[in-house]
Structure 1
Amino acid sequence: MSTAWDLKRQLKNAINAHDLQRVLDCYSPDAVYVAPSGIAEGHEEIAWHYEQYFKGFPDFHATAWLELAECAIPAVTEWTYTGTHTGPFLLPDGHVIERTGHRITVRASCAAHIEDGKIITHREYYDQLELYSQLGFGLTELNPASA
């Protein structure tokens, strides 16, 4: 039986290979994935979530630079995500950002709860403004009448 850290490393390797089946093999069938872009429940929705990143950033790569080894429940990792935006990328509001060609480097962290050798909940945290500003977008002023 693998440890939580073995499973997290299997997930990282599957993500970096853009192998959706191997990614899903790390999750229980009813797992819940929570990210700044939304919540995915079950294999179908989790696969869809990862597909959005793999389509938008065909060279998407996750590098773990800190694993809290003393903490296996939840298994907490800090990452750096890199990639080049060369495909369509779906935003949480439903808009699609077409290819910008911009390179991204985004800091992230996650906490995964694991039972019986599978991830049951996975919470991913990253600064969406950091990502969007690297894609060439910024904040816009809200219309005071609609705020």
Structure 2
Amino acid sequence: MYWDLKHRLADAVNAHDVPGVLACYSRDAVYVTPCGVAEGHDQIRWMYEQLFRAFPDFHAAAWFELGDCDNPAVTEWTYTGTHDGPFLLPDGREIAATHRRITVRATCSAHVTEGKIDSHREYYDQLELFSQLGFGLLELDRIPAP
């Protein structure tokens, strides 16, 4: 059951199907990413919309699933996409489209209660992402505040 739900979430993410994504989460779920924390469907919707806006061809390819553990379901991914829209930083600043391709390694764990994800924690190396977008740490400091 847990892995079926996790696979449905991955399919919805790769289809950029926001209603399909939300159908996998409980109404009061918490989604934690390096970009911030989202609580509940409205905030989770917004986080995924921002991701798909920044990377219109975003794709997550699972390459390892921790088979000995059902709950939480733990997956390692490779995220790919082209940065063709504004990318929101955790402090509210945006990186304008660079039109660069990214390939980022990531992992996540999703805890399921009563058939829905109630806690989803996602991790990736932000410096790996930012360097592929053409930024080092000092260059990010030069992006103006909102």
Q: TM-score range by the shorter chain?
A: over 0.9
Deviation at 1:93, TM superposition (A): 1.3
Amino acid at match of 2:55: F
Looking at structure 2, the residues matched to 60 and 31 of structure 1 have their Cα atoms a distance apart, in angstroms, of: 23
Tell me the TM-score normalised to structure 1 length: 0.93
Give the superposition deviation at 1:4: 0.4
Write out per-residue CA displacement over residues 66-120 of structure 1, whole angstroms, 9 at most, x where no aligned residue. Answer: 0011100110000000000011111111111111010000000001100111000
> Which residue is equivalent to 1:45?
43
CA distance in structure 2 between the partners assigned to 1:57 and 1:38 by the alignment: 17
Name the CA distance, whole Å, in 2 between partners of 1:53 and 1:33: 13
Q: Per-residue displacement from partner, 1:118-145 (whole Å, max 9, x unpaired)?
A: 000000000111111100000229xxxx
Bigger Rg over Cα: 1
Structure 1 residue aligned with 2:118: 120
User: For residues 1-147 of structure 1, what are the structure 2 equivalents within 5 Å?
Assistant: 3-140=1-138
CA RMSD between the two structures: 1.0
Corresponding letter in the other structure for 1:124: E
Distance in 2 (alpha carbons) for counterparts of 1:27 and 1:19: 13
Give the unaligned 5+ runs of structure 1.
142-147
- Aligned equivalent of 1:144: none
**TM-score, length-scaled by structure 2:** 0.93
Gaps of 5+ in 2: 140-146
Deviations along 1:1-23, one digit per CA (max 9) or x if unpaired, are: xx100000000000000000000
Number of residues of Structure 1 aligned to a counterpart in Structure 2: 139
Using the aligned pairs only, state the percent identity. Answer: 68
Cα deviation, 1:40-79, whole Å, max 9, x if unaligned, reads: 0000000100111100000000000000111001100000
